[in-house]
Every structure is written in structure tokens, then in C-alpha cells.
Amino acid sequence: MTREAHRYDHLTSPEAEQAQCDGALLILPVGALEQHGDGLPLGTDSIRADHVAHRVAGELAGRCFVLPTVPYGVSPHHRTLPGTVSLPPTLFAELIAQIAGELAGSGWRRLLVVTGHGGNAAALGVAQQLLLSSHAELAFAWSPVTALATEANGQLPRAEVTGHSGESETAQVLAIDETLVRRDHLRPGATSLAELSPRALLSRTAKPSIAVTFDQYAPNGVLGDPTTATSEDGEAILDEVVAAVTAYARRMLAL
């Protein structure tokens, strides 16, 4: 293994102290270990978060370091399909708050969590509230991945129903490492509202939030048609995400 300059776990103790004294930003990628249909790996969300974090740190060379990725997330809605390993949301919130609190306690002042998994959002909000009580001096922010690429996602040929393991997510994994995608096994999941179970339909068409397990969307746990995804689309999506997170990180560094 060769040393990578912006990896936190490749720093020595004096180097970490220096970076902390310099006011560097830390990025914590978080993901999930959960079903992603028949064509994408279980670690898809961690892989995408990790990719974005390292590219952002590369843009901000010397001022930003990437912590080791948290590869487990909050995925009870995916448990009905094989391969999923979920943490309780309270444990996930406390894990993030604990890591952040450790860092704040040793003097770090800026931490940005990048989550590749939307199911972590509520728990990250809880972590944010916990940290406001325990370490209000820490600038703690969290960012999604896919949702930031509004322009590039808008260019995709997307089905009426799209999302998990669909067009955008599959394109991103193709762009990061196409050997991770089992192209022969990519299959459409739910692609139209007419196919959805009553509860899944309610979750997709009304503002009040209702939770749904993914087998209620489609038997293969996929939303949308991943067979139309291309690595070129994935590059455009990831470029837009990296640009947006980098711009935000620069503003955090200026705090």
C-alpha cells in the first residue's frame, strides 16, 4: 500500500496534530451494507461516498483529510432482501456523534459527513442535534451524494419511478469501477406508479412521510431501470456532486 496524502489513517500523530492546528476540514464518508438489486454490490453507498470524499480532499489538497469510511448504515427497509446488515438508527446517530465528539475534544473544528445512503439522513439529523448540545463549537455538516446532482440527474433517461439501485446509482458505480457492476444481472425494478403496492404508492405521491420496506416497491428491491445506465452519465453525476461538496467544503474552511 502506498501512502495517500489526504487519508487520515495514513497521517502520523504529529501530522494529524499539525493538520488540526492548521484548521483543516475532516470528511467522514458513511454508507450502508445493503441489497442493491441483482447487479450492484452491497457496499454501493459506501463506495460512492468514499469516492466523492477522496476527490473533494484531492481538490483541497493539504486542507482536508478523509477519515476511514463507516461501512454500515441504517437499512431496516432493505432487510427483507439478502445481504443487508443494518444498524439501529439510535446506535448509528450515537456512533457518528461519538466520533465527532472525540475529534472535537482533541481540537478539530470542522467535520463534514458525506452519506451515500439516504436512509442515514434522519440519524445524521439526530447526531447533529446531539452535537449541538455537547460540542456546539464544532462545525458539523452532512451531505447526501446523488441528490446534489440535480442537473446531471435531470439529463438521465429515468423511469417514472426511480431511485435505489436505479439509473443514477448504477451509472455512478459504472463510473467508479465498472468491474463492480454485474451488467448481465441488471434488471428493472418498479418503473411506474401503477406497479406499486398501496403503501408504496402513498410514500411516493404524498408529502407526509411513510416508511416502506423495499419488497413493497419491487420484488428485486430496485427503483427504476438500471439497464439504461452508462459510465458517462455516472461521471457527469459524480463531477457535479464533487463540485458541489467542494464548494461547500471551501465555505466550511472559511468559517
Length in residues, the chain: 255
**Is the Cβ of residue 73 or residue 101 nearer to Zn ion in the bound state?**
73
Amino acid, res. 1: M
- The shares of helix, strand and coil residues in the chain, as percent rounded to the nearest 5, are 50, 10, 35
**Is the Cβ of residue 16 or residue 40 nearer to Zn ion in the bound state?**
40
Q: How far is the CB of 83 from Zn ion (least distance, A)?
A: 12
Q: How far is the CB of 119 from Zn ion (least distance, A)?
A: 9
**Is the Cβ of residue 29 or residue 101 nearer to Zn ion in the bound state?**
29
Residue 202: count of CB within 10 angstroms of its CB? 13
DSSP 149: -
Q: How far is the CB of 31 from Zn ion (least distance, A)?
A: 8
CA angle 131, 132, 133 (to 5 degrees): 85
**Is the Cβ of residue 134 or residue 231 nearer to Zn ion in the bound state?**
231
**Closest listed residue to residue 171, CA positions, set 190, 185, 157:** 157
Integer Cα distance of 111 and 40 in angstroms: 29
At 239 the three-state DSSP class reads: helix
Q: How far is the CB of 169 from Zn ion (least distance, A)?
A: 5
**Is the Cβ of residue 138 or residue 222 nearer to Zn ion in the bound state?**
222
List CB contacts of 114: < 8 A, sequence separation 6 or more.
27, 28, 29, 30, 49, 52, 53, 56, 142, 143, 145, 245
Answer for which of 20, 45, 99, 242 binds Zn ion (CB under 5 A) is 45
**Is the Cβ of residue 45 or residue 50 nearer to Zn ion in the bound state?**
45
Integer Cα distance of 8 and 147 in angstroms: 26
Q: How far is the CB of 71 from Zn ion (least distance, A)?
A: 13
Enumerate residues 25-44 that contact Zn ion by CB under 5 A. 44
Cell of 233: 452519465
Number of residues lying near Zn ion (CB under 5 A)? 2
Residue number, nearest CB to Zn ion = 45
What's the longest Cα–Cα distance across the chain? 59
CB 29 within 8 A of CB 45: no
Q: How far is the CB of 201 from Zn ion (least distance, A)?
A: 22
Q: How far is the CB of 206 from Zn ion (least distance, A)?
A: 23
Residue 167 sits in the site that holds Zn ion (CB under 5 A): no
**Is the Cβ of residue 44 or residue 69 nearer to Zn ion in the bound state?**
44
Q: Which residues bind Zn ion (CB under 5 A)?
A: 44-45
